[in-house]
Amino acid sequence: MSKIKLALIPVALTCLGLLSLYSIEPPLDSAGQDMFESMFFRQLLFLCIAVLIMIVVSNIHYRRFWSTSHVWYGLSIVMLIAVLLFAKNVRGARSWFKIGIFSFQPSELVRIFLVIVVAKYMSTREKLVGRDLLIIFAMVLIPILLITAQPDMGMALITLVSVVIMVYASGITFRQSIPVLIILLAACPLIYKFGLRDYQKERINAAFKMTSLDSRYQVDQSIKAIVSGGISGKGIGQASLTMPFYVPDRHNDFIYSHICEELGIAGSLGLVFLFGVFFLSSLRLAFWTRDLFARYVVVGLTLGLFVQFSVNIAMTIGIFPVTGLNLPFVSYGGSSLFASYVAAGVILSVNRFWRPEFSEKRLPESAFTITPTKS
Amino acid sequence: MHDRRLQVAILILLGLVIVSMRTLYLQAQDPMPLRAKTSYISIVTIPRAKIIDRNGKVLAHDERSFDLYMIPNEFDKDPTVIIALREIMDIDDALLTLYDKINQRLDNRKLWLSERRVPQLLKRNLSFETAMKIEIDSNRFKGLIVRESMRRSYPYGKIGSHVIGYIGKPTENEFLKVLEDESIPEHLQAILRSRPELKESVVGKMGIEREFDQTLRSSPGIAVLERDTSTGEKRDISLKDPEAGEDVQLTIDIDIQKKVEGILDRQTQNGCVVVLDTKSGEIVAIVNKPSFDPNHFVPPAKSELIQDYLNQESKPLLNRATRGEYQLGSIFKIITALAALEEQMLVPSRTIECKGKYFSRDDAFRCWIYRQHKAAHGHLDLTGATARSCNIFFYRLGQDLGMGLLKKWALKMGFGEKTGIGLGFESAGRLPRDSAILTNSISFAIGQADFLVTPIQVAKSFSIIANDGICVKPHIIKKDDIASLRVEISSENIGHIKKGMQAVCKESYGTAHSLSHLDAMGKTSSAQTNSSSSGAHSWFAGIYKNYAIVVLLEYAGSGSEFAAPIFGQVASCLK
Higher local confidence (pLDDT), B171 or B288: B288
**Do β-strands B39-44 and B221-228 pair in parallel, antiparallel, or remain unpaired?**
antiparallel
Question: In this predicted structure, what is the pLDDT of residue A369?
Answer: 44
Higher local confidence (pLDDT), B569 or B174: B569
The mean-pLDDT minimum among A54-58, A150-154, B130-134, B343-347 falls in A150-154
The mean-pLDDT minimum among A188-202, A346-360, B391-405 falls in A188-202
Q: What is the mean pLDDT of residues B184-199?
A: 67
What mean pLDDT value characterizes chain B?
Answer: 84
The mean-pLDDT minimum among A302-306, B135-139, B318-322 falls in B135-139
Q: What is the mean pLDDT of residues B496-512?
A: 90
Question: In this predicted structure, what is the pLDDT of residue B291?
Answer: 92
Q: What is the mean pLDDT of residues B320-331?
A: 92
E strand or H helix at B538, and its extent?
A: strand B537-544
Q: Which of B12, B227, B234 to mutate to test the interface with A (most CBs of A within 10 A)?
A: B12
Helix (H), strand (E) counts: chain B: 24, 23
| Shortest CA gap A280–chain B (Å) | 7
- Strand residue runs (E) in A93-244: 97-99, 102-104
Question: In this predicted structure, what is the pLDDT of residue A201?
Answer: 65
Whether residue A278 is predicted with pLDDT greater than 90 in this model: the reply is: yes
Question: In this predicted structure, what is the pLDDT of residue A245?
Answer: 56
Q: N- to C-terminal Cα distance for chain B?
A: 119
Q: What is the mean pLDDT of residues B400-416?
A: 91
Whether residue A365 is predicted with pLDDT greater than 90 in this model: the reply is: no
Say which DSSP state B250 is in: B
B117 touches chain A (CB under 8 A): yes
Q: List pLDDT tens digits, range A3-37.
A: 788 889 999 999 999 988 888 777 665 555 566 67
Q: List pLDDT tens digits, range B199-222.
A: 667 888 899 999 998 889 887 777
- pLDDT band at residue A197 using 50, 70 and 90 as cut-offs: low
Q: What is the mean pLDDT of residues B6-15?
A: 88
Question: In this predicted structure, what is the pLDDT of residue B35?
Answer: 52
pLDDT-above-70 percentage for chain B: 88
Whether residue B86 is predicted with pLDDT greater than 90 in this model: the reply is: no
CB contact under 8 A, B7 and A169: yes
Q: Which of A228, A254, A274, A307 to mutate to test the interface with B (most CBs of B within 10 A)?
A: A228
Question: In this predicted structure, what is the pLDDT of residue B232?
Answer: 60
| Residue in B with minimal Cα distance to A281 | B9
B35 touches chain A (CB under 8 A): yes
- pLDDT band at residue A367 using 50, 70 and 90 as cut-offs: very low
| Residue B568 backbone dihedrals phi, psi, to 5 degrees | -60, -45
Say which DSSP state B243 is in: B
| Residue in A with minimal Cα distance to B30 | A227
- pLDDT band at residue A103 using 50, 70 and 90 as cut-offs: confident
Higher local confidence (pLDDT), A178 or B229: A178
Question: In this predicted structure, what is the pLDDT of residue A240?
Answer: 61
The mean-pLDDT minimum among A201-205, B335-339, B497-501, B528-532 falls in A201-205
The CA distance from B329 to B446, in Å, is 6
Q: Is B459 exposed, middle or buried (0-12, 13-18, 19+ CB in 10 A)?
A: buried
User: Shortest CB distance from A260 goes to which of B1, B5, B23?
Assistant: B23
Residues of chain B contacting residue A306, judged by C-beta atoms under 8 Å apart = 12, 15
What mean pLDDT value characterizes chain A?
Answer: 79
Higher local confidence (pLDDT), B574 or B534: B574
CB contact under 8 A, B15 and A310: yes
E strand or H helix at B20, and its extent?
A: helix B4-27
> In this structure, are residues B75 and B116 in contact, taking their beta carbons and an 8 Å threshold?
no
Whether residue A370 is predicted with pLDDT greater than 60 in this model: the reply is: no
E strand or H helix at A269, and its extent?
A: helix A255-288
CB contact under 8 A, A230 and B31: yes
Closest to B285 (Cα-Cα) out of B117, B162, B146, B132 = B162
State which of A147-161, A241-255, B340-354, B526-540 shows the largest mean pLDDT: B340-354
Q: What is the mean pLDDT of residues A336-363?
A: 79
E strand or H helix at A280, and its extent?
A: helix A255-288
| Shortest CA gap A221–chain B (Å) | 11
CB contact under 8 A, A314 and B19: yes
Higher local confidence (pLDDT), B178 or B304: B304
Q: Is B103 exposed, middle or buried (0-12, 13-18, 19+ CB in 10 A)?
A: middle
A236 touches chain B (CB under 8 A): no
| Residue in B with minimal Cα distance to A282 | B9
CB atoms inside a 10 Å sphere around CB B436? 9
> In this structure, are residues B12 and A279 in contact, taking their beta carbons and an 8 Å threshold?
yes
Whether residue A373 is predicted with pLDDT greater than 50 in this model: the reply is: no
Higher local confidence (pLDDT), B40 or A216: B40
Helix (H, G, I), strand (E, B) or coil at A268: helix
Whether residue A104 is predicted with pLDDT greater than 60 in this model: the reply is: yes
- pLDDT band at residue B292 using 50, 70 and 90 as cut-offs: very high
Q: Is A349 exposed, middle or buried (0-12, 13-18, 19+ CB in 10 A)?
A: buried
- pLDDT band at residue B326 using 50, 70 and 90 as cut-offs: very high
The CA distance from B403 to B398, in Å, is 8
Whether residue A206 is predicted with pLDDT greater than 80 in this model: the reply is: no
Q: List pLDDT tens digits, range B41-64.
A: 777 778 889 999 999 999 999 888
The CA distance from B349 to B334, in Å, is 16
Whether residue B138 is predicted with pLDDT greater than 60 in this model: the reply is: yes
Whether residue B1 is predicted with pLDDT greater than 50 in this model: the reply is: no
Say which DSSP state B122 is in: E
Strand ranges of the sheet holding B233-240, from the earlier edge strand across to the other edge: B39-44, B221-228, B233-240
Say which DSSP state A151 is in: T
A300 touches chain B (CB under 8 A): no
| Shortest CA gap B38–chain A (Å) | 7
- pLDDT band at residue A214 using 50, 70 and 90 as cut-offs: very low
**Do β-strands B248-249 and B51-52 pair in parallel, antiparallel, or remain unpaired?**
parallel
Higher local confidence (pLDDT), A364 or B485: B485
pTM (2 d.p.): 0.57
A-B CB pairs within 8 A amount to 107
Whether residue B561 is predicted with pLDDT greater than 50 in this model: the reply is: yes
Closest to B465 (Cα-Cα) out of B562, B544, B401 = B544
The mean-pLDDT minimum among A236-250, A327-341, B307-321, B346-360 falls in A236-250
Closest to A336 (Cα-Cα) out of A255, A279, A268, A282 = A255
Q: List pLDDT tens digits, range B89-117.
A: 776 655 665 556 555 555 556 666 667 77
